[in-house]
Amino acid sequence: MMRERKFKKRFCKYCESKVDYIDYKDVAGLKFSLSERYKIMPRRLTGNCKRHQELVTVAIKRARQTALIPYIVDRKNVVDAPFETSNR
């Protein structure tokens, strides 16, 4: 329920801000496309276009490799709103 409302708008936010390159060090920006368990959100939920979703995916995988984003999240460590800046 909450998730559908969170991604109601159906436009690619990267296209709108005319982003050509997504920096893997920009974790705050990447978190928009991550679930609360740090999984990559599918395109149908985020509304990203195909091109930018691929850029986001690459950036997230790079960020994981550089330990900016965890690969897995323990059940105990899951928080309700880890990205308090991105939602409202």
Binding site for Zn ion (CB under 5 A): 12, 14-15, 49, 52
Q: How far is the CB of 67 from Zn ion (least distance, A)?
A: 27
Closest to Zn ion by CB, 15 or 79: 15
Closest to Zn ion by CB, 58 or 79: 58
Q: How far is the CB of 1 from Zn ion (least distance, A)?
A: 26
CA dihedral 27, 66, 76, 8 (to 10 degrees): 30
Q: How far is the CB of 16 from Zn ion (least distance, A)?
A: 8
Q: Which CA distances in Å does 25 have to 14, 49, 51, 77, 78?
A: 16, 21, 19, 22, 22
Using alpha carbons, select from 9, 6, 19 the residue that is nearest to residue 51. Answer: 19
Closest to Zn ion by CB, 10 or 76: 10
